[in-house]
Amino acid sequence: MRLIEYKNKLYSVIIKKKGDNVIASIQVEGATAMGKTEEDAYINLKNKLSEINSNSNIGKEKLLFG
């Protein structure tokens, strides 16, 4: 089982095989990523979570500072 840290909490990563690809997901933010291998899917999921996190921070700053 793989774990991933997101917003200072650990979540277990759900790995599923779908056809020729592997899907990695967590039950937060509806985050799902696909890759050819489990490792690729995991890395893509980490990247997607980083992107979601940075986008949400930008949105909060815009709200706070106008």
SS (H, E, C) 37-64: CHHHHHHHHHHHHHHHHHHHHHHHHHHH
Distance CA 57, CA 32 (A): 20
Q: Residue 8: which pLDDT band, with cuts at 50, 70 and 90?
A: confident
Q: Residue 10: which pLDDT band, with cuts at 50, 70 and 90?
A: confident
pLDDT 10s digits, 26-37: 887 678 899 999
